[in-house]
Chain A
């Protein structure tokens, strides 16, 4: 037994170094993937960057048949859908955060609601899109007829509606955690001065968690910007933007993600494909930056 143990201890030292190196290699793979992604996107965007220059970003016409490319309609489409979705969802995210963070943090009802929120995030986006196409679109169509707008049904407004539901969990779950973190002494001090529940929420909890909640909004925004499938199914896939306000909001359009999804496999010449990839590059950079800022705010908030 003694000799066996002595021999074993020496062979094990060899595996030690192999294992430690393996850990390092695996972690490096992550860095390689990210760098590789960036390089691939930049490299493959080069043809359109060279051919179209920076004016591409505010070019208003997207006509692949005539080899004219302008990203402006998609930038508008993305911004409109994402920000409209944010505006619609924020009241709900905040409400849930306050309810589950402050009013009702424990108990079966609270768990039920929390699970429901996680379920919203778990449902695949394709299912949101499918349901939206067959149920939401006819509803919106009759709504549009009532308010005297061209009854497309599909369009930017419909996409924003579905998107707003999908992004609620991102701000909400973060908000719940943050509001629960507000130190009791702070709240008790306000109560001791005779503040009502509403006043404590408004003047103690909200200011305390403000930056963290903002980070939650950023995370929701990042999610909205990158969402592809539900939007592709509901937005109408038109690469021109409406000229009047009504047409803009209620008419069809395209986002950066949806135009890539629709036209990538049809892009037959290099500049066409490259223009689409350039959109992907913009999408990549913007979502990454927003997510990193959001995460940085969160780490700073939680370390305090």
Chain B
């Protein structure tokens, strides 16, 4: 009996060791990749790097200014498109959970969350690039905003659902009309959750390449026009990393470093916001 027990206990301990080992092993590739990107990229970043466009093949120097500006413009434009639609849809879904529209819209949000990003690129190509006759930052932004929507909607919906119904009641009993109750009481109270959803969605799309391959396409020159092709950080990394030129590889490492840092900072800030505001609420 005791021998049996010993075997079982040993099994249990071995199992735990295995589980712990595997769990922490996961962090190894993460750390390796992060450190490598930082090592390769941090040296590339200087003022020249940030303010100049890539040099033609054969010449040294150059930078990623076109990609920085491009990513900034497209992300801002996507946010402008996706945030109103996303927040208002999220409000509708949390306020009207039992309607038919809510059921189908919720289903569509789930569908959009799973759509491969390259497919989004395909349809936006036909919706905007073809009619406009050119690749454009606008089409890239539309594609990115479609990818932003599910995250913004779900976080808005979930944040608002968690608010106590007494909040709405108090405002309504004061004679505040419904739309003001939502806009001036409910949304401000859920601000932290909604904001973190928006920031997470931005962190997601700033690194997306596939939907931009045939929408924004890429541009070796600095451009701020939304009806022309535009470069972006992830797209530049893709093009230059797969090129045969060392100079371009270096640019790609620098761009990767900046992209990675931006995504990391956004994620950290989001975590801090949710932690700080949740305690107050």
Q: Is the CB of A122 within 8 A of B264?
A: yes
Contact check: which of A9, A12, A196 meets B11 at CB < 8 Å? A196
Q: Is the CB of A31 within 8 A of B116?
A: no
From 191 to 230 in chain A, residues with beta carbon under 8 angstroms from any chain B beta carbon are 196-199, 201, 222, 225-229
Q: Which residues of B contact A197 (CB under 8 A)?
A: 12, 15-16
Q: Which residues of B contact A44 (CB under 8 A)?
A: 122, 126
Interface size class of B (residues with CB under 8 A): 35 or more
Q: Give the complex CA separation of A203 and B241 in angstroms.
A: 49
Stretch at the interface among B102-110, B160-168, B188-196: B102-110
Q: Give the complex CA separation of A47 and B30 in angstroms.
A: 44
Q: Is the CB of A27 within 8 A of B102?
A: yes
Query: How many residues in A have their beta carbons less than 8 Å from beta carbons of B?
Result: 81
Q: Which residues of B contact A76 (CB under 8 A)?
A: none
Q: Is the CB of A31 within 8 A of B104?
A: yes
Stretch at the interface among A16-24, A141-149, A242-250: A16-24
Main SS at interface, chain B: helix
From 31 to 54 in chain A, residues with beta carbon under 8 angstroms from any chain B beta carbon are 31, 33-34, 36-37, 40-41, 44
Given contacts A126-B207, A197-B16, contact A261 B26 (CB under 8 A): no
Q: Give the complex CA separation of A91 and B120 in angstroms.
A: 32
Q: Is the CB of A131 within 8 A of B36?
A: yes
Q: Give the complex CA separation of A12 and B243 in angstroms.
A: 60
A197 nearest CB neighbor, chain B only: B12
Q: Give the complex CA separation of A20 and B88 in angstroms.
A: 10
Q: Which residues of A contact B15 (CB under 8 A)?
A: 197-198, 201
Q: Which residues of A contact B114 (CB under 8 A)?
A: 222, 226, 287-288, 290-292
**Distance to closest chain B CB from A20 (angstroms):** 7
B234 nearest CB neighbor, chain A only: A126
Q: Is the CB of B210 within 8 A of A91?
A: no
Q: Which residues of B contact A122 (CB under 8 A)?
A: 203-204, 263-264, 267
Q: Give the complex CA separation of A23 and B249 in angstroms.
A: 47
Q: Give the complex CA separation of A188 and B192 in angstroms.
A: 38
**At the interface, yes or no: A295 with Cβ under 8 Å from chain B?**
yes
From 71 to 114 in chain A, residues with beta carbon under 8 angstroms from any chain B beta carbon are 91-92, 95-96, 98-100, 103, 113
Q: Give the complex CA separation of A262 and B207 in angstroms.
A: 19
**Distance to closest chain A CB from B134 (angstroms):** 13
Q: Give the complex CA separation of A16 and B183 in angstroms.
A: 12
Q: Is the CB of B111 within 8 A of A260?
A: no
Q: Is the CB of A133 within 8 A of B102?
A: no
Q: Give the complex CA separation of A100 and B22 in angstroms.
A: 12
Q: Which of B21, B101, B209 has the most CB of A within 10 A?
A: B209
**At the interface, yes or no: A26 with Cβ under 8 Å from chain B?**
yes
Could you give, for residues 110-132 of chain A, a 1 whenever the CB lies within 8 Å of some chain B CB and a 0 otherwise?
Answer: 00010111111011111111110
Q: Is the CB of B177 within 8 A of A257?
A: no
**Distance to closest chain A CB from B104 (angstroms):** 6
Q: Is the CB of A265 within 8 A of B213?
A: yes
B179 nearest CB neighbor, chain A only: A19
**At the interface, yes or no: A301 with Cβ under 8 Å from chain B?**
no
Q: Is the CB of A20 within 8 A of B237?
A: no
Q: Give the complex CA separation of A12 and B177 in angstroms.
A: 7
Contact check: which of B12, B32, B88 meets A22 at CB < 8 Å? B88
Could you give, for residues 173-210 of chain B, a 1 whenever the CB lies within 8 Å of some chain A CB and a 0 otherwise?
Answer: 00101111010000000000000000000011011111
B252 nearest CB neighbor, chain A only: A130
B29 nearest CB neighbor, chain A only: A165
Contact check: which of B21, B27, B237, B252 meets A116 at CB < 8 Å? B27
Q: Is the CB of B26 within 8 A of A92?
A: yes
Q: Is the CB of B30 within 8 A of A119?
A: yes
**At the interface, yes or no: B260 with Cβ under 8 Å from chain A?**
yes
Stretch at the interface among B47-55, B58-66, B89-97, B219-227: B89-97
Q: Is the CB of A24 within 8 A of B104?
A: no
**At the interface, yes or no: A1 with Cβ under 8 Å from chain B?**
no
Given contacts A36-B127, A37-B123, contact A126 B209 (CB under 8 A): yes
Contact check: which of A115, A118, A131, A228 meets B33 at CB < 8 Å? A131
**At the interface, yes or no: B170 with Cβ under 8 Å from chain A?**
no
Q: Which of A22, A198, A257 has the most CB of B within 10 A?
A: A198
**At the interface, yes or no: A29 with Cβ under 8 Å from chain B?**
yes
Contact check: which of B101, B112, B177, B179 meets A27 at CB < 8 Å? B101
Could you show 11 A-B contacts with beta carbons less than 8 Å apart?
A9-B175, A26-B89, A29-B85, A30-B108, A34-B112, A44-B126, A134-B241, A196-B12, A197-B12, A228-B210, A292-B107
Kindly list 20 other residue pairs between chains A and B, CB separation below 8 angstroms, not including A9-B177, A123-B30.
A27-B89, A27-B93, A30-B109, A30-B149, A36-B123, A92-B25, A99-B19, A123-B263, A124-B207, A126-B207, A133-B241, A197-B16, A198-B15, A228-B209, A257-B210, A260-B122, A283-B119, A287-B114, A287-B116, A295-B110
Ranked nearest first, the 8 interchain pairs of A and B with the lowest CB-CB distance are A124-B207, A226-B116, A291-B114, A95-B22, A19-B179, A198-B12, A196-B12, A23-B92
